Chains A and B, each alone.
Chain A
Amino acid sequence: MNPLLLFLIPILPLFGGVINVCFGSRLPHRLVSGLSVAAVSGSFLLATLLWPLGSGEGTRVVLFSWLKSAGFQADVGILFDPLAAVMTLMVTGVATLIHLYAAGYMAEDESPARFFALLNLFVFAMLCIVLADNLLFLFLGWEGVGFCSYGLIGFWYRNSKNASAGRKAFIVTRIGDLFFAIALLWLFSAFGTVMIEQINARVAELDPLLLTGLTLLLLGGACGKSAQLPLMSWLPDAMAGPTPVSALIHAATMVTAGVYLLCRMFPLVSLSPTGMAAIALVGALTALYAASCALAQREIKRVLAYSTMSQIGYMFLAVGVGTVSGAMFHLLTHAFFKALLFMGAGCVIHLAGGENDIYRMGGLKEKSPQVFWLFLVGILCLAGTPLTGGFFSKDAILLTAFAAGDGFYATLWGIGVLTAGLTSFYSFRLLYLVFFGTARQAGQGHAPSPLMLWTLPPLALLGLCTGLLNLPHLFGGHEWLTLWLGQPMAEMLPVGTEIGLLFLMLIFFVGGWVIAHVRYRTFPGDEQAGWRSFLLSGWQADRVYELILLRPYRAICRFCWQGGDKALIDGVMEGLARLCLHWGDYVRRLSNGQVAFYLQGFAWGLLLIVGWFLLASVK
C-alpha cells in the first residue's frame, strides 16, 4: 500500500468542504449532505484499509515542505503511528455516523451548504491534529478546529444568544491556544525543530524546570480545547449549536484534542512529576466539578455537556497518573457512548416537540421504545454499569490512580470514585426524568426520521462492547489496546485488592442508581432550591469570571479607549490638524491677488538672501 494514500484521509473531507463552500449553495440539499457524508465515509474506509501501516513504529510520509528557511522546517507530513491510527479510525468512524445523522437532522434547514461544509472542515481540522507529524501542522488543525467550532456553535446566528455562544467558545479556547503557541515556540527554540518524533526523542536533554514549564503550557492549551478547569466555561454554552454539532464536538473532535495532544507529547510530559501531578489534579477536580454541576441541570444537552467535561476530566487524570492507554481507552468508549447519547438526545428533543427541559419531558418510553433502549445503553455506559465499555475504561483509570500509591494520588482516586457515584446518580436522574413518569411536555412531538434512528444502533453496540478492546487480565483479557499502543502494562495489583476495589465501585454505582430511583422514579415536581441554582449555574463560574476578569478588563479597555485613544491621541491629532488649518488659512490669504503685494514677496526674499550672505561673509 502506498503510504501517500494516507493523505487522502484528511484531504477527502477538505475536498468535500471546499466543494460545498464554493458550489454548495447551488446544489440540491440531498447532494450537499450526500457529498459530505461520502467524503467522511471515504476517509473512514481508507483509515480501515490503511490500518496495518500504523502498527509498530508507524509510518511517516511527507507530501511537501510547507515552510523552509534557515534551520526551520515544517512539512505537510503525516505520522501514522498506533496512537494516530486508533484515533483516526475513531474520529472518521464516529464522524461518519454523525454526518449521516446530520443529513437527517438538518433536512429542513435553510443553509445546508454552510453547515455541511463546516462539518467537513471540522473533521479535516481534527484529522490534521491527529495525523500531523509536526507541531506547526498540528497547530494549523488546532486553530481550524477552533474556527469551525465557532462557525458551527453559532450556526443559527440570527439568534444573538447562539452567536455569542460561538464567540465565547472561540475566545475561551483561544486563551488556551495562546499557551500552546508559546509552548510551540519554546520547543522550537529549545530543539530547533517542531517534529513531534524528534522532540519526543530528545526530551531528556532538557532542564527539568523548563520541562515543567513546557508541560504546564501544554496543559493550558489542552485545557482550553478540552474544557477543563479553569477554561471550561464555554462547553455548556456550546449547546447552542445544532445537536449533530454537539455530538461531533463532544465525541469525535475538539474536546478530545486536548487529551490527544497530551498523549502525543507524553514522552515529554511524563518526565515532569510536577506537570503530571498538575494534569491529574486538573482532571480530577474537573471531573468532580462537572459531575456536581450535572446534578442540577435542567436542559438535556447541558447535562450531557457537563458529563462530557467530567469524563474528559477522567482522561486527564489518566494521563496524569501515567497511563496513555487508559486515557485512550476511555476516550474511545466515551466517544461512542457520548455520540450515542447526544444523537439520542436529538431524537428525544424531536419526540418532545422541541422541548429541552427535562422537567418538561417524561413518559417518552411509551412513545418510542426504540429511542429508550438505545438511550438506556448510552446511560448505562456513562454511569459505568459493570461489563459495559464505560465501566472497564473508567475502572482502568481509577485502578492505576490507586496503584500510584502516595497520598496525593490516593486523594485523586477518592475524588474519582466519588465522581463515579455522582455520575451514576445524574445519569439515571436524566433517564428517569425523560423516559418515565407522566408526559409533561406541551408540544406534540414527532418520531425521528429513520436516518437519524438507524445511526444509533452501531454506536450502542460499540459502546457496550468496546470493553473487549482492553479487557483486563482479571476478566480473562489481554489488554489488546495497551499492547497495540506499545505502552507498558499496568502494574498488577494483588487480585484481592483489585476485586475489593471493583466492589467499591459497584457500591458507588448502585448507590447512585438507588438514590436516583427513589427520588425520580416518579416525577418529584420542579426543584429550584438554593444549592441547586448554584450548581445549575456551574458554581457561578461565569459570574466569577465576570467579576475578576471581565470587569477589570473592560475598565482597562475603557481607559485606553476613552483616555488614551479618544482624549489623548485624538485630541492631540485634532488639535494639530486645527492648528495646521488655522495657519494654512493665514498663509493662503497671502495670495490676495495684488501684484504689488506679490512683488513685495520678491523684495523680502531678496533682502533675506542678501542679508544672510552678508552676515555669512562678514563672519
Chain B
Amino acid sequence: MVIRWVTLADIRSYRALEWHPDPTVNLLVGPNGAGKTNLMEAIGYLPSLRSFRGVPDDGLISYEADSGVIRAGLGWGDNGHLVEIEIFRNRSRRVQVDRHRLRRASDLGEVIRTVTFLPEDVDLIKRGPGRRRDLLDEVAVQLWPVSALDQSEFAKALRQRNAFLKQRERDEVTLGVWDARLAQSAGRVLSRRVRAMELLQPEMERAYRDISTSDIHVDIEYRAEWVDKTDPTIPAGVYEKALADALLGTRHRDMERRLTLVGPHRDDPVLLLDGHDSRVHGSQGEQRTYALAIRLATQRVITEFVGVPPVLLLDDVFSELDRDRAHALAELLPDTQTFISSARPEDVPVTGREWRSHDGSVT
C-alpha cells in the first residue's frame, strides 16, 4: 500500500497543497504549529473517515472555508485507486473511490489501511477501558471491514434501548425486541474482539520483548460481567444468548437506572504485564513500551492477515521516548511507506526523505 500523492484544499492550515511523498520513509520536520500533525491527520482520515485527534469532521475544515477536500492517489496500475473526500460544515461528507460514490464507509478500509503511533497512545494503558475497547474494535475493522457495520449497529441499538428506558411508558414486548437486537449485534462485536485479541497477543509479546529486550509475558484479559469465558472458537450466537440472558437479569436495575448496565460497552480488556494489570502496576517506561508494542503488533497482524503492510504514521512519537526505546523502535519499523513528524529531527534516529512543513506548504 502506497500513497503516491495527496492534495488538500481548505484542510486546516492547508489552503491548497499538492504533495508527492516518497514511497518509503518520509520525515516531516518544522517548528511547532507548522502543520505537521494537520497533514498526518488528513492522511489518517483516509481509511477511517475519522480524525485521530478525535474531533468532529468540521474541525478539519480551514477556519474561513465551508468545505474541505482530501484527495489521494494510491498504489499503481490495476491496484491503483483514487480516493476523494469532501467534508462540509453543515451536511454529511461525500466519499468517492475511483469516482464512484462509496456505498459503505467500511469499504474504504479495503482500499487503504494505516496504523498510527501517537504520544497519547500511552493512554491506552493509563486510562479507562473505553480506549482499549476502541482499540480492539479498530483492529477488528482493519482485519474484517464488515465489522464496522456490526459496531455501528450495536451503538445504534444501544442508543435506542437507552432512549426507550428513559421513556415514561415502557412495555415489556418492546423492551424485549430491543434486547434481542442489541444482543445480536453485541455477540458479533464481542466475537470479533476476541478474535482480534487472539491475533494480537503473540505479536504484542514479541514486539514488547523486541523493544525492551526483557522476557516479560504480555497478555490481554477480557473482563466482561456478562460472559463466562471468551474464546475464539465460540460462535457469536453463544455470546448473543449470554447477553440476552444478562439483560433479563439486569432488567430491573436497567429500568430503575434507565440505562443499559451490561454489554460490550462496559467491558474492560485489561492489558497484563506478567499477569498484573499494567495500568496499576506498570512503570512509566513499561507503559510506554506497552503502547509501542500494541501499535507494532497491530501493524504486523494486519500485514500478516491482509498480505499488504499498512501505511505507518508516527506523529511526534520519538521526542517522547528515551534513547534506547527510540533506537529500538527505529530498528523495528517495518518496510512500508512511513510518515514520521517531529519538531526536533535530531530526536529521530531514522533516515528518510526530509520534508519541511511551513505556511501551508510542504517542500
Pairing of A with B: no
Question: Which of B's residues lie within 8 Å of A, judged by CB?
Answer: none
Question: Which of A's residues lie within 8 Å of B, judged by CB?
Answer: none
